[in-house]
Amino acid sequence: MKLRTAVFGIATLFVSTASFAGMVSSSSNIDF
């Protein structure tokens, strides 16, 4: 159960990082 919680936490962190990176690159594209 603890392993599943750790995997879920890492997946959530990865998704939030990916969406933040996508938001930043979208802003950069708008600037250009």
Q: Three-state secondary structure along the chain?
A: CHHHHHHHHHHHHHHHHHHHHHHHHHHHHHHC
pLDDT mean across residues, the chain? 85
- Give the pTM: 0.58
pLDDT tier, 14 (very low <50, low <70, confident <90, very high otherwise): very high
